[in-house]
Amino acid sequence: MAALDDVEVKEGVDQETVDAVKELSGAYKYGWETDIEMEYAPKGVNPDIVRLISSKNKEPQWMTDWRLSAFERWEKIEEPTWAMVEYPDIDFQDIYYYARPKSMEEKPKSLDDVDPKLLATYEKLGIPLKEQMILAGVEGAEDAPAEGRKVAVDAVFDSVSVGTTFQKELEKAGVIFCSISEAIEKHPELVKKYLGTVVPPSDNFYATLNSAVFSDGSFVYIPPGVRCPMELSTYFRINAENTGQFERTLIIADKGSYVSYLEGCTAPKRDTAQLHAAVVEIIIEEDAEVKYSTVQNWYPGDENGNGGIYNFVTKRADCRGDRSKVMWTQVETGSAVTWKYPSCILRGDDSQGEFYSIAIANNMQQADTGTKMVHLGKNTKSRIVSKGISAGKAQNTYRGLVSMHPKAKSSRNYTQCDSLLIGDKCGAHTVPYIEVKNNSSRVEHEATTSKVDDDQLFYCRSRGMDEEEAVALVVNGFCKDVLQALPMEFAMEAQALVAISLEGSVG
Amino acid sequence: MALAKLKSDTTEARLAGVTLPTGAAWANAARADAMARVREMGLPTKRDEYWKYTDPTTLTDAAAGKAALFHNDEAALFDAVDRVRVVFVDGVFDAEASDDLAAEGLEIERLADAMAADIHWAKDIYGVLEARGQKPVPRTLAALNTAMATDGVVIRATAKAAKPVNLIYLHRDETSDAVLHNLVKVEAGAEVTLLETGPAAARFSKLLEVDVADGGTFHHVRAQGRDHERRAVTHCFARIAAESTFKSFTLTFNGVLTRNECVLEIIGDDATAHVAGICVGDGKDFHHDDTVFITHDAVNCESRQVFKKVLRNGATGVFQGKILVKEGAQKTDGYQISQSLLLDDDSQFLAKPELEIYADDVACSHGSTSGAIDETALFYLRSRGVSHDDARNLLTLSFLAEALEEIADESLAEDLRDRLEGWLARHR
């Protein structure tokens, strides 16, 4: 943390903020490695590897063909260069595209059959796979029922899903929560109907690669009218060296259903960078609601920029039905390079999309992240709140699109992006695209900190606070709201961020 | 890579047979350098990110499209202002129609004369500021202007100028394709106001390079187009030194295609740079693009961008604005606002307001809004007996006020306000 220790902090940025950033981006706690016997596919990617991955997952022919056509397309397209990130060329033939623990050769029937070493790995990460209650009494759990809260977990280790908890209980509610490989096997009709309909295999370079080589991931189906009885969660762990992780998540919320989904990720410390190119697709039907929360804590590399994860992720939610709703919340602290834009297609009338993001980049980290709000339906609403924090020599970019199509009458968008720089060697950038094609919609984009609610500010001032204090309180209060929207399990980690004030911030 | 090859092929095809004008040795060198830049960067296409919202095809085509001549009996803009009039007809200097090129505190010459002189101060500015403004995005049409321009004016302000200089661009030929290149050098402590008016030509490429020395002041007020079919691409490259002031305002009426690029580089401490613009457009074939790039490379400087657009009947307004604060440019105050008022459901506003910041002690902000006229305000005015059209125009003018306020000289602002009212009255 040398980079932050000797930095001269400008007046107006309080020490608490600096400490909070230090704490969060300090010594990486999850940098250890599990010593476990692995089985790899040969290095590199070609149609044979694609077929091999497909056969390892015991996939039907249509799935194999789907992958192969994606691969064919991938070979013809070029890596995108528009993001404000720099990294050495990736040699796509020098990566293992499939790595699984030997003990996973035969899929374990239940969690009891899973290799204890794997269970211990997740235990150490604080993700117990044994079906158990998460004890109440942790900070932020006040609203949890007294007997504790349950979270079903799908644990992905390198290329395979290790196990999924609480499956039986979820089944009772009609909810399907399993690995995507299992879904392809057991629910092919659902997968066939929805896979690639939100993020088509032709979407972008990394999504196309993912479509060809995705090895596992999570699948969620919530039937009509069902409120998922517990939070669902996937925990991604990269362990093997020189391995890329390509998981695919597909979430379907049928009419009138609700689910809250959490995602967490970590990786060991290594000198060489590793690639993570995931795709998340969410389909939301009429009156359904999905909350998707991420605490992204991949290994960020050391302070000289060696190693770390290249996190090139495509996430998109399609609000197909009227009055459907999606909320993306992300706390991005890890990864050497982040390239990630969780987006909302607001197709149904009166549908809503929300995006709350806190992105912290320290040392040599580079983050280029944001969202897209594509308004297609009438009376659609979206809100974007993005807080970017840069320290050390990091570069942090917000990149977003708000698009009001001619038919999206009477729609509304509000965007607020704030950036905070700690030290004079880092950078903070904002690249919003705003496209308004009808006049009954209102779009507002702001990148100032002074625009906190005037009434609240006035109230604070009238109670004797000075302007700075008042702004800090109002903004902190707002931040807290966002963070408390995170499910409890993540709130712990994210609460450290609440201390961050936005004083001295720039647009 | 295939794209880059295609681009270079198209550029070569377009430039085949083009010969550069000749003048003094330094001028020839500046033109050759500019042409080399054009070849290296390639002409813009719709596929370039930098031209995402505006199709440059009609600007890069070999021949200019036709633009009907527009006649009206309005008095010329700024007629009441005592000024030095420099008249160009379809991009060619008209000595007869122009005033004597002289005023206290000013040296005014034709560009052609300056480019023929072996020793001239223009050598240090011509194409130099344009070349500095070619990073990080290529502005190839500006380099092409530097390479091909033969006419224009060069102005040197040595003290506070006695009166403003008004460049008047007349349009008399339906297919004219004009290229003008103007230079302004404001010496330390000097001050000058430059006015530009008129539609100019069927297609107009105009470049202005402004070098403001320490403590200098440059004011720029421009009115483009007027119920006219012309296409225009204009560039302004300015270098702004310590404690100096640069202020530019542009009013654009109808015109098929207008792309105004303004590239400012603040190199001295405590300087101020303001760019503002209003565009009012009516009709599907109206496309207006303001592209601004302000670089802060000094301490304690202020920059402001204020852009307002009123669009109706399917008109398109584009704003691309960027503030770059370089490492060490502390105490920067950067402000940017881009707003559009869409008077009907077919018009569109496309914006990309960007910030790129490498210094921590700065206050930069940007805002962008888009929407229709406030119905509550409209209702209020109606309830007070104001007619619907009048109420709408009143609210439109108040929406535009913030940008008009950027003009320092009130009489100039008043003239433009009158024109705006006239436009709104005609376009009900």
pLDDT tens-digit series, residues A117-149: 777 777 777 666 655 444 333 333 334 343 445
Helix ranges restricted to H, A173-279: 180-186, 188-194, 205-213
Q: Say which amino acid occupies A18.
A: V
CA distance A269 to chain B (A): 29
| Strand bridging mode B348-357 / A427-436 | antiparallel
Residue contact B357–A428, C-beta within 8 A: yes
DSSP A141: -
- Residues from chain A that touch B328, judged by Cβ atoms under 8 A, are 424
Residue contact A419–B350, C-beta within 8 A: no
Q: CB of B137 within 8 A of CB of A431? A: no
Q: CB of A366 within 8 A of CB of A394? A: yes
**pLDDT confidence tier of residue A10, bands split at 50, 70 and 90:** low
Residue contact B355–A447, C-beta within 8 A: yes
Q: Of B354, B339, B260, B271, which Cα lies nearest the Cα of B306?
A: B339
CA distance B318 to chain A (A): 9
Residue contact B368–A506, C-beta within 8 A: no
3-state secondary structure of A345: strand
CA distance B324 to chain A (A): 9
Determine the pLDDT at residue A9. 57
Neighbours of B422 (CB within 10 A): 14
Determine the pLDDT at residue A164. 77
Determine the pLDDT at residue B413. 94
First to last CA, chain A: 26
Interface mutation target, options B293, B337, B339, B360, chain A, most CBs of A under 10 Å: B360
Task: Taking residues A186-214, report their average pLDDT.
Answer: 94
Does A440 contact chain B (CB < 8 Å)? yes
Helix ranges restricted to H, B101-219: 111-116, 128-132, 140-148
Task: Give the domain ranges of chain A.
Answer: 2-499
Does A435 contact chain B (CB < 8 Å)? yes
- Residues from chain A that touch B369, judged by Cβ atoms under 8 A, are 442-445
- Residues from chain A that touch B348, judged by Cβ atoms under 8 A, are 435-438
Residue contact A444–B369, C-beta within 8 A: yes
Residue contact A431–B362, C-beta within 8 A: no
Q: Of A278, A296, A133, which Cα lies nearest the Cα of A203?
A: A278
Distance CA A223, CA A231 (A): 15
Does B375 contact chain A (CB < 8 Å)? no
Neighbours of A122 (CB within 10 A): 21
Distance CA A5, CA B130 (A): 42
Interface mutation target, options B299, B344, B354, B355, chain A, most CBs of A under 10 Å: B355
Q: CB of A328 within 8 A of CB of A292? A: yes
- Residues from chain A that touch B330, judged by Cβ atoms under 8 A, are 424
CA distance A198 to chain B (A): 24
CA nearest A412 in B: which residue?
Answer: B371
Residue A223 has pLDDT above 90, yes or no: yes
Distance CA B76, CA B196 (A): 12
Residue A306 has pLDDT above 70, yes or no: yes
Distance CA B266, CA B299 (A): 9
Per-residue pLDDT of chain B (428 residues; tens, 9 = 90+): 567 888 888 899 889 888 999 999 999 999 999 999 999 999 999 889 899 999 999 999 988 888 888 877 777 889 889 999 999 999 999 999 999 999 999 999 999 999 999 999 999 999 999 999 998 899 999 999 999 999 999 999 999 999 999 999 999 999 999 999 999 999 999 999 999 998 899 999 999 999 999 999 999 999 987 667 889 999 999 999 999 999 999 999 878 999 999 999 999 999 999 999 999 999 998 999 999 999 999 999 999 999 999 999 999 999 999 999 999 999 899 999 999 999 988 899 999 999 999 988 888 888 899 988 888 999 999 999 999 999 999 999 999 999 999 999 999 999 999 999 988 888 87
Residue contact B49–A422, C-beta within 8 A: no
Determine the pLDDT at residue A134. 41
Distance CA A494, CA A492 (A): 6
3-state secondary structure of B268: coil
> What's the longest Cα–Cα distance across chain B?
70
Helix ranges restricted to H, A329-449: none
Residue A189 has pLDDT above 60, yes or no: yes
Distance CA A401, CA B52 (A): 13
- Identify the bridge partners of residue A183 per DSSP, sorted by sequence position: none
Beta strands in A363-448 (DSSP E): 366-369, 372-375, 381-391, 395-404, 412-422, 427-436, 442-446
3-state secondary structure of A261: strand
Determine if the peptide bond prior to A145 is cis (ω within 30°).
no
**pLDDT confidence tier of residue A15, bands split at 50, 70 and 90:** low
- Residues from chain A that touch B349, judged by Cβ atoms under 8 A, are 434-436
A258 or A135: whose pLDDT is higher? A258
Element (H, E) at B295: strand B287-296
| Strand bridging mode B245-252 / B272-282 | parallel
The answer to which of A196-210, A273-287, A490-504, B343-357 has the lowest mean pLDDT is A490-504
Determine the pLDDT at residue A476. 56
3-state secondary structure of B50: helix
Q: Of A337, A348, A396, which Cα lies nearest the Cα of A374?
A: A348
What sign does the CA torsion over B387, B392, B393, B399 have? positive
Determine the pLDDT at residue B336. 93
- Residues from chain A that touch B366, judged by Cβ atoms under 8 A, are 430, 445, 447-448, 507
Residue A284 has pLDDT above 90, yes or no: yes
Residue contact A406–B369, C-beta within 8 A: no
- Residues from chain B that touch A429, judged by Cβ atoms under 8 A, are 354-357
Residue contact B359–A426, C-beta within 8 A: no
3-state secondary structure of B113: helix
> What's the longest Cα–Cα distance across chain A?
71
- Which tokens belong to B381? 């005015």
Residue with tokens 């002074």: A450
- Which tokens belong to B203? 């297609």
Distance CA B356, CA B325 (A): 6
Beta strands in B358-407 (DSSP E): 363-371
No. of H helices and E strands in chain B? 9, 20
Q: Among the ranges A15-29, A418-432, B74-88, which has the highest mean pLDDT value?
A: B74-88
Determine the pLDDT at residue B245. 97
Residue contact B352–A432, C-beta within 8 A: yes
Chain mean pLDDT for chain A: 80
3-state secondary structure of A439: coil
Distance CA A251, CA A265 (A): 18
Distance CA A330, CA A340 (A): 10
Residue contact A506–B363, C-beta within 8 A: yes
Determine the pLDDT at residue A126. 67
Q: CB of B244 within 8 A of CB of B274? A: no
Determine the pLDDT at residue A484. 56
Does B352 contact chain A (CB < 8 Å)? yes
Q: Which one of A432, A439, A507 has the shortest CB-CB distance to B372?
A: A439
